[in-house]
Structure 1
């Protein structure tokens, strides 16, 4: 169904830009491009970010698995490891704590004209990416392969159909949303 998008580079870029602008719009409207909301999340006084992200995961999970079931897309998973999760989590966490934005929210904040996001975020992302790229061969051979996971997906790990996992995860996420204190949303 979507074969024409795989062969047309310009069309892929257009859709990527369109979806990116849509994501930024949704992040801004959800309030998660606000430094105060993000700091409130880090201080556990405002759960807007968690609510928006859980909602996005639920919608994405349903959409991706529906498209997979209809044969519109293919999964392209990659093996993970404890080492890659630790490195990724540390880099993400350090950047998030220092700047008060994650990569998605920093792009939305730049889009709404926040100079701290532009200077600190964009410059930080570029410098961090350059440092990681420089050290990637060493990190890849010595850290990213530590504790390689035996399978690539949760349904493979627990040996049940993926739709059952999707339904269980959606129910768990809805339960978490119901238990969060009511603040920003």
Structure 2
């Protein structure tokens, strides 16, 4: 049943990516140039909705969180590789798959890059485990746990900030 939920949410997310126009190359480049915030608004909206949903389900006892350890070293390296790939290709991984689904063959390069990157990571994992993952390792901790306050306060503060940020973007026609 969980596979069906995954397929349904994946199709729904793909539909929303397409309807939000975030699969378009011009939107991707506009985001990279900080001239079009469509992608940022889309993803930040998805993140806050997911945070609300996940913590609501957790508080109702319907799910348990299973977090990975937080490693600043891994986040910095992964973020840099993600940014370089996005800048070179003009798509992030999800939008590359969506672009291919819309028939744009250039998205295939992103998918091939993801597969190659996954293979390189698997080969380099022993090195990463020994030297990179321990850098800034905070263990299995969330932001609310790290700063020691209730998760709903963190979610509400972030949601309020995002509303103000989105208003700023709209006023600037971003």
Q: Normalising TM by the smaller chain, what interval?
A: over 0.9
The TM-score, its normalising length taken from structure 2, stands at: 0.93
User: 1:109 maps to which residue?
Assistant: 99
What SS class does the counterpart of residue 134 from structure 2 fall into? coil
CA distance in 2, matches of 1:174, 1:68: 24
- Please say if residues 81 and 145 of structure 1, whose CA atoms lie closer than 8 Å, have aligned partners that are also in contact: yes
1:182 is displaced (CA, Å) by 2.2
- Please say if residues 24 and 107 of structure 1, whose CA atoms lie closer than 8 Å, have aligned partners that are also in contact: no
What SS class does the counterpart of residue 136 from structure 2 fall into? coil
What SS class does the counterpart of residue 149 from structure 1 fall into? strand
CA distance in 1, matches of 2:157, 2:140: 20
User: 2:125 maps to which residue?
Assistant: 136
Structure 1 unaligned segments of length 5 or more: list them: 1-10
CA distance in 1, matches of 2:76, 2:61: 34
User: 1:75 maps to which residue?
Assistant: 65
CA distance in 1, matches of 2:139, 2:2: 33
Partner of residue 110 from structure 2, selected from 111, 118, 121 = 121
Structure 2 unaligned segments of length 5 or more: list them: none
Instruction: Give yes or no for the alignment of 1:48 onto 2:38.
Output: yes
Runs of 4+ with >3 A deviation: none
Aligned residues: 172
CA distance in 2, matches of 1:31, 1:107: 14
The TM-score, its normalising length taken from structure 1, stands at: 0.88
Higher relative contact order (CA 8 A, sep 6+): 1
